[in-house]
Structure 1
Amino acid sequence: MGRAADLLIIGAGDAAAEMAADLAGLGFSTHVCNGEALQRALERQRFDAAVSLEAPSVELPERLTHIAVGDHDTPASARLVDPAHPIQIAARLRAVMRLDVLEDTAQARVADVEAAGLTRLETGPGRTESTLLYIGGPDPVFMRLNAAMENAGIEVIAAFTTFNAFDYLHERAFDAVVVNAEPDPDLAHTVCSAMRRNTRLYHTPALLLTNKELYPAADEAFARGASDILHADADPEALCERVAALAEERRRRRRAKATLETCRLSALLDESTGLFEPGFARRHLDTLIARNEERNGSLALVALRAATPVEADDAHADSALVQFASMLRHCVRAEDLAVRADRNAFYLALPATGAEEAETVAARVSAIAECTAYESGDPLKPFRIDVRRAVVERDRNECADALVRRAFAAIGDGGVNRATG
């Protein structure tokens, strides 16, 4: 099993205990405290994130991902209105933690590119205003939402049917989507789940708008992928703040991914595959390792060795390996490092990722390779690539060279192997 994120619950009483139990059931390792005990806990243990139900008694570490629940005035990575649903808190925690890793990796990669003496083409500022897609009928709820967003400088585009909505979503990028859950909450939940199944829309916030004080289907809504539930009669300023906060997280993600894309310079890439070449990759991997240690995070490496059948001639074998390698970078996240180490050897470095999650990535790569046929000299006899893999999780004090060597040694001659540090 992968390491559960260590989560600090800042609060006291039944509410904190109940939240700790709920979040433990959702895969976190939870610890509840505040007051004098909070300082001792922070000195004794490095936490991955914190959720505060009340103002912390001491200042939290700057790098700690922090979700504030309620109206206490505490600096936080994100804020949720009380009562917040456990699934909502868990999803927001994971999203903000991954966003922190993405932005941190982008900064590290820029620094390493500049250290190599290369110049990136800076990304432009992009759109200055947030854009929101509203899905639902043209009723008074929409008019109030539209007026509130307009006053906040947020552009609203309305789709009065789900068919029109997905046309819009495929045509352009939105920073957030608000779905009117009245009169058909099931349809609103379906929109949320459809967005979460779509890789391009996965990180786009989906908020439900309801005229009910307490939304009766909150469990299902958050389980299906809703990011927040808004009350139609809420204070317009507060409503805008909640939408704008989620929209800004989406924009930050886009900016970080665009920055990573500017680091893909020809001098650093394998010309035929677009993967990073091993020299720069080893230096950058050492940087990622150092950053991960600061976060107390895990880092996994997937080693891959691809073999073509003996009957494939050199030209077609090389072509197949290039096609396989070119596919690799589309199997991983923007912050992951995909490298061609040799003609038929590749590796994927996955920051803030444990061995169990990395094994899922490795299995996906192998499955794609197994179902892909490559062209041979005989058009009637295509061939497949055999991919052996190993997943290793970095040991403490292990450098990039040692980690890569251990990963490829773990492949061995017996097929697929998995080794964890």
Structure 2
Amino acid sequence: MGRAVTLLVCGDAGPAGELAGELCALGFAARPVSPSGIVSSLASEPADAIVTMAALDPSVAGTARAVVSLAGAFDGAHAVIVPPAHPIQIAARIRATLRLGVLEETASQRLADLGDAGHLLHKGEQKSGPICVLYAGPPDPAYLRLEHALQRTGAETVAAFSTFNAFDYLHEKAFDAVVLNTRPKPDIAHTVCSAMRRNTRLYHTPTVLLSHDEVYRAADEAFARGASDILPASLEADELAERILALAQERRRRRLSKGLLESCRVSAVLDSETDLFSDSFGLRHLSSLVQLTHARNLPLSVIGLKVSVPGAAGPADGRHASGALNQFASMLRHCVRAEDLAVRVSADTFYLALPGTTAHDAQVVAARVAAIAECTAYEGADPQMPFRIVLRHDVTDAAAGDRAQTLVARAFANLRQEQPAVAVI
């Protein structure tokens, strides 16, 4: 099992201890701490993230990669959740904030490495145009108040009065946030949340539930299905708008970083046949990621991949074998996130570097890639005998003192010995 995210819950002993226990049950290594004891606690054992029930000094907040405040906005808080906050909601915000930090740092570093390699790019501009929010549900006075409040900030709203219309809009354009009315049937709002979380394009779009109850009794299910926040319709319109806009701005930051990473894919640093990064640029960028890992106490994992082609493909350097290897390689970069580094070392050898990812989580990625490879058939020398490639993989993670070359060599150490490839259909 990989290292759990370490978390400090800052607040009075009772509430902080209870929340720390709930977050431990969700997979974090959480411990409570009082506001007066947080400095000494961080000095003795640093934490990846802080959840705080009291405003913190910016110098204290700056020691963690993610600070989630339950006490309103203050300098150094990366995200604000308004109580009462559900543990699943807090956990999701912590993970999202940590992922966004890794994404932004990796994008900035990849751009710098591209410049060091002699290929200067300008940073992409923030998405032009106003923030756009989709409302889904029946007409409601709360929506009208929210629409006017959002318009006062310069944001745009689009209303879809049925689920079908909502999905039509979602497939037509990119929204910065989606507001779902839980009246009259909260199950429909929950279904939309879960459907968006199953869609790679919509996965990071925040979904906010508009509740007409003082206490939303289905909060457990809502957050488990992927809701980002639950807002009482009785709130002041400006507060409704403020909380939605905060989530929308995060979404824009994510899109900006992904666009920046995509712009770094210039032909000079890519393998011409597959659009994976070349070995030379891969090592340059991996070296920077290793340094960032050590400096920021981040996890970093590398997956080594070795592909074998069976005899049914014909000659090893023939058209069918080469075509299968190139098709696999082209597919590979679509199996990982924008911030991940997919590199082709040779015709049949590849590696994936996953910033902010533990070895345990990297094993899940490796298994997913292997499963896709195993179910893909390629045309052989005999059209009646298609074949499958055989993929072997190994995972390693960065340790103190590691260099990029050391990591890559370790990822391939157990893959050197050839094994017979017999995956014929």
Q: Distance in 2 between matches of 1:344 and 1:142?
A: 55
User: What is the Cα deviation at residue 212 of structure 1?
Assistant: 1.1
Code of the residue aligned with 1:22 in structure 2: it is E
User: What is the Cα deviation at residue 141 of structure 1?
Assistant: 2.1
Q: Distance in 2 between matches of 1:72 and 1:152?
A: 19
Q: What stretches of structure 2 of length at least 5 have no aligned partner?
A: 420-425
Q: Distance in 2 between matches of 1:20 and 1:165?
A: 37
Q: Distance in 1 between matches of 2:114 and 2:251?
A: 25
Counterparts of 1:306-345 in structure 2, within 5 Å, are 306-313=307-314, 314-345=318-349
Whether contact under 8 Å (1:10, 1:34) holds in the other structure is yes
The residue that corresponds to 2:364 in the other structure is 360
SS for the counterpart of 1:311 is helix
Counterparts of 1:377-396 in structure 2, within 5 Å, are 377-396=381-400
The residue that corresponds to 1:141 in the other structure is 142
Q: Distance in 2 between matches of 1:315 and 1:264?
A: 27
SS for the counterpart of 1:191 is helix
Code of the residue aligned with 1:344 in structure 2: it is D
The residue that corresponds to 2:44 in the other structure is 44
Counterparts of 1:154-193 in structure 2, within 5 Å, are 154-193=155-194
User: What is the Cα deviation at residue 88 of structure 1?
Assistant: 0.2
Code of the residue aligned with 2:187 in structure 1: it is D
User: What is the Cα deviation at residue 119 of structure 1?
Assistant: 2.3
Q: Does 1:26 align with 2:20?
A: no
The residue that corresponds to 1:227 in the other structure is 228
Q: CA RMSD in A?
A: 1.6
Whether contact under 8 Å (1:275, 1:339) holds in the other structure is yes
* Greater displacement, 181-190 / 139-148: 139-148
Code of the residue aligned with 2:48 in structure 1: it is D
Deviation string 1:216-245 (CA, Å, 9 cap, x unpaired) is: 111111111100001112112211111001
Code of the residue aligned with 1:14 in structure 2: it is G
Deviation string 1:238-283 (CA, Å, 9 cap, x unpaired) is: 1111100100010000000000011101110000000000111111
Counterparts of 1:2-401 in structure 2, within 5 Å, are 2-56=2-56, 59-61=60-62, 64-71=65-72, 73=74, 75-120=76-121, 122-313=123-314, 314-401=318-405
User: What is the Cα deviation at residue 35 of structure 1?
Assistant: 3.8
Q: Distance in 1 between matches of 2:119 and 2:134?
A: 39
Give identity over the alignment, percent. Answer: 51
SS for the counterpart of 2:399 is coil
Deviation string 1:389-415 (CA, Å, 9 cap, x unpaired) is: 101112211100011001101225387
User: What is the Cα deviation at residue 60 of structure 1?
Assistant: 2.3
Deviation string 1:17-62 (CA, Å, 9 cap, x unpaired) is: 1100000100110121134421111111221110000123663225
Q: What stretches of structure 1 of length at least 5 have no aligned partner?
A: 416-421
* Aligned CA distance change for structure 1 residues 352 and 125 (closer, same or farther; 3 Å): closer
* Greater displacement, 67-76 / 47-56: 67-76
The residue that corresponds to 2:423 in the other structure is none
Code of the residue aligned with 1:309 in structure 2: it is P
Give the aligned length.
Answer: 416
Normalized against structure 2, the TM-score is what?
Answer: 0.95
Whether contact under 8 Å (2:312, 2:386) holds in the other structure is no
Code of the residue aligned with 1:259 in structure 2: it is L
User: What is the Cα deviation at residue 74 of structure 1?
Assistant: 5.0
Normalized against structure 1, the TM-score is what?
Answer: 0.96
Q: Distance in 2 between matches of 1:55 and 1:240?
A: 23
